[in-house]
Amino acid sequence: MENKIEVRQFNFYYGDFQALIDLNVPIRANQITALIGPSGCGKSTFLRSLNRMNDTISIARAEGEVLLDGKNIYDADVDVVDLRHRVGMVFQRPNPFPQSIYNNVAFGPRVLGTAKGSSLDDVVVESLKGAALWEEVQDKLYEPAQALNPGQQQRLCIARAIAVQPEVILMDEPCSALDPVATLRVEDLMRQLSKNYTIVIVTHNMQQAARASDWTGFFWLGRLVEFGKTGDLFTNPQEELTESYITGRQG
Amino acid sequence: MTTSKAENGRNLKEAIIEGLIWFSGISAILIIALIFIFLLKEGAPAFVNVPISSLLGRRWYPIEDLFGLLPLLIGSLLVTVGAVVIAVPLGLITAVYLGEFAPTWQRELLKPLIEVLAGIPSIVLGFLGWVVLAPLVQNMGASTGLTAFTGALILAYMSLPTIISITEDALYAVPNEYRDGALAIGATQWQTIWRVVLPAARSGIVIAVMLGIGRAIGETMAVMMVTGNAANIPSWRTGLFFQPVRTMTATIAAEMGEVAQGSVHYSVLFGIGIVLFLITFAINSLATRFVSGGDGRATRRRAQL
Ligand SMILES: Nc1ncnc2c1ncn2[C@@H]1O[C@H](COP(=O)(O)OP(=O)(O)O)[C@@H](O)[C@H]1O
Ligand SMILES: [Mg+2]
């Protein structure tokens, strides 16, 4: 199976503090990879390393390779803006811009200049449908995004991300601010999206990882303890640490 | 059960504090009302005794009973508009630099410095304008250095600290999550600022600009010193901004000491005060509407397509 992203010997530092240690992670194309682990173990840091969102933190420093289609995204000749266009991101707290629903989705195509006028309208509609939000908002496209409920806002953020047709979508605990019904909707959506996109999701909810992902990686104190097919990792963990973590949480 | 002593004391204290707050609020309103009533009482006769056609005249020459307000209105307008045109873009760009691009040490150094600028007494700036700016403006080819443009420069300088400081606060209040959301899609930093951060900070920016303009319209001393104070209407031909003008505020300040109380001239000066009051009021209400308009603008435009 093909690896969309291949992380090799990756180390990450906030100043003197090493947040990620010797990581080697394969991310399979068109599959859902879940990252689990206790809070503070570096899941968000890792995710943000995959589209270089950590560049905005001045004290941060990365070592090693993150190969996207075989090309290291930390190479000097990589255009970060172009990289983030290919590797989109959905955040823990829904963060729609304080603008209309339409303008939120149209934001990406507009700044990238990929669609205008009626073709922009089409992209907006398609993205909202893709994010399973169209039915709910088709009558209020020009109303403020802030008027939506949190679950709808998060799906709007997903629509905003897919409007630029990225290859990879990173999701950092996208359901932690949502109720169970909205959570299931987003999980369904992820399953659909994985046909066309490679998805990496961070979650502290192990049921969610077990339910919604194809591959699971277990992080502990900045290290990747275990990585494998989701079914195997949850039913038959190879490491004691993994076992105590997943049973401890479930029991 | 009877109420305890402590509870009685507490209730009394609450009542006193509440009364004080009520009193402060009411007295602020009362004082404003009184000022306005006084202004009306002294100024209203002007609009009765001097015909409107004459008030709209082109000549301000009180000795001959010519009370045309047009030159004064145009003088104020030129100086204020000039100041706004200079100060608003400059102020916004500076604030964006400080808030979005400057490294922390620069921001921490510059922000307080800029706020200190706001505290310079206007008479000092007027003096500076007279000594430094006026000769420069004259060297640019104007017949005199004391012009509307000179006044606009001084006023722009006076309103810049307000505009910069309040705009920077507004940018600072925009959550980083919005910036992250835009950057994560592949927007450049500049696109992020232009399309997400500035619109999100819009109401704060409008307030910054309004306070800056407010400072410019009401300013008297510095303007009086550098605009030449000739109550004439500049013509396009000779360069609209490069001739002496006289503003409404300067007129009141310069002539109030010499008029007989109760004379027509006296009431016209108060009439000018009323006009100033109305203009400021109009600008403020406009700003309030603009601010509460929220996200609607761009959206409504699209919706009409
Ligand atoms: N901007 C930052 N500056 C310094 N340390 C940070 C920063 N962000 C995260 N960390 C530290 O890095 C470690 C991993 O954090 P994070 O990636 O957010 O973990 P998780 O998402 O798994 O909860 C934590 O110890 C955290 O304190
Ligand atoms: Mg996290």
pLDDT digits (tens, 9 = 90+) for B245-279: 899 989 998 888 888 888 889 999 999 999 988 88
Question: What was the pLDDT predicted at A227?
Answer: 96
Which residues in chain A have Cβ-Cβ distances shorter than 8 Å to B300? 142
Tell which of B49, B68, B88 closes a domain.
Answer: B49
Task: Report the greatest alpha carbon distance in chain A.
Answer: 57
Looking at the CA of residue A17, tell me the nearest atom of ligand 1: 5
Helices (H), B173-259: 176-183, 189-192, 198-200, 202-218, 221-226, 248-255
pLDDT the model gives residue B300: 37
What pLDDT is recorded for position B139?
A: 87
For the segment B281-286, the average pLDDT, to the nearest whole number, is 83
Q: Please determine, for residue B304, whether its predicted confidence score (pLDDT) is greater than 60.
A: no
Q: Could you tell me if B178 and B158 are in contact, meaning their C-beta atoms sit under 8 angstroms apart?
A: no
Half-sphere exposure of residue B201: CA atoms within 13 angstroms, side-chain side = 28
User: What pLDDT is stored for residue B303 in this prediction?
Assistant: 36
Q: Which residues of A touch B186 (CB under 8 A)?
A: 81-86, 88, 108, 111-112, 164
**Pair (B121, B178) in one structural domain:** yes
Quick one: A168 exposed, middle or buried, by C-beta within 10 A (0-12, 13-18, 19+)? Answer: buried
Is residue B21 domain-shared with residue B108, that is, in the same domain? no
One domain, residues B257 and B275: yes
Other C-beta atoms within 10 Å of A51: how many? 26
In terms of domains, do B45 and B56 share one?
Answer: no
Partners of residue A89 on adjacent β-strands: A170
Report whether A73 contacts B150 (CB < 8 A). no
Give the domain extent around B23. Answer: 1-49
**Confidence category of residue B222, pLDDT binned at 50, 70, 90:** confident
Residue A181: per-residue pLDDT: 86
Which residues share a beta bridge with B66? B61
Q: Indicate whether B3 and B125 sit together in one domain.
A: no
**Residue numbers in B near A100 (CB within 8 A):** 295, 298-299, 302
Question: Angle of helix B202-218 relative to helix B148-172, nearest 10 degrees?
Answer: 150
Distance CA A77, CA B49 (A): 78
Which tokens sit at B29?
A: 């309103």
**What's the pLDDT at A249?**
52
Asked whether B86 and B152 are in contact (CB, 8 A), the reply is: yes
Distance B196 CA to ligand 2 centre (A): 24
Contacts of residue B121, defined as CB under 8 A and 6 or more positions apart, other chains included, come to: none
Mark yes or no for CB contact B184/A53 under 8 Å. yes
Domains with residue ranges and CATH for chain A: 3-246 (3.40.50.300)
E-strand ranges in chain B read: 60-61, 66-67
Provide, for chain B, the percentages of residues in helix, strand and coil under a 3-state DSSP scheme, each rounded to the nearest 5.
75, 0, 20
Summary mean pLDDT of chain B = 87
Residues B277 and B221 in one domain: yes
CA distances from A167 to A31, A129, A162, A235 (A): 12, 18, 9, 31
Q: Give the mean pLDDT of B93-120.
A: 91
Residue list, ligand 1 pocket, CB within 6 Å: A 14, 17, 19, 37, 39-45, 57
Both B43 and B59 in a single domain?
no
Along the 251 residues of chain A, how does pLDDT read in single tens digits? 579 999 999 999 999 999 999 999 999 999 999 999 999 999 999 999 999 999 988 899 999 999 999 999 999 999 999 999 999 999 999 999 999 999 999 999 999 988 888 899 999 999 999 998 999 999 999 999 999 999 999 999 999 999 999 999 999 999 988 888 888 988 998 999 999 999 999 998 888 999 999 999 999 999 999 999 999 999 999 998 999 888 875 43
Residue holding tokens 């691009």? B101
CA-closest residue to ligand 1 atom 6? A14
Q: Which of A101, A178, A176 is nearest to A142 (CA)?
A: A101
Considering the domain architecture, whether residues B28 and B69 belong to the same structural domain is answered as no
ipTM value: 0.90
Are residues B283 and B175 both part of a single domain?
yes
Q: What is the pLDDT at residue B3?
A: 67
Task: Give the model's pLDDT for residue B2.
Answer: 63
pLDDT of residue A63: 95
Q: Cα dist. A96→A90, A92, A231, B118, B296 in Å?
A: 10, 12, 34, 37, 16
What is the CA(A151)–ligand 2 centre distance, in A? 19
Regarding whether B80 and B42 lie in a shared domain, the answer is no
Tell me, yes or no, whether B142 and B229 share the same domain: yes
Show Cβ contacts of residue B285 under 8 Å, excluding neighbours closer than 6 positions: none
How far apart, in whole angstroms, are the C-alpha atoms of residue A94 and residue B178?
10
For position B58, what pLDDT does the model report?
85
In this predicted model, which residue has the larger pLDDT, A144 or B63? A144
Using only C-alpha atoms, what is the Rg of chain B?
24
Which residues contact residue A30 at a Cβ distance below 8 angstroms, ignoring those fewer than 6 apart? Answer: A4, A194, A195, A196, A197, A198
Give the pLDDT of residue A88. Answer: 94
Same domain, B74 and B106: yes
pLDDT given for residue B59 in this prediction:
87
Query: CA-CA distance, B282 to B214, in Å (whole number)?
Result: 11
Token reading at A170 = 């990173």
Give, in degrees to the nearest 5, the angle at Cα B150 between B148 and B152: 70
pLDDT for residue B294: 47
- Do B144 and B240 contact (CB within 8 A), yes or no? no
Number of domains in chain B: 2
Q: How far is the CA of A40 from the centre of ligand 2 (A)?
A: 7
The CATH number of residue B219's host domain is: 1.10.3720.10
Enter the tokens of residue A246: 């997943």
- Global confidence as pTM: 0.82
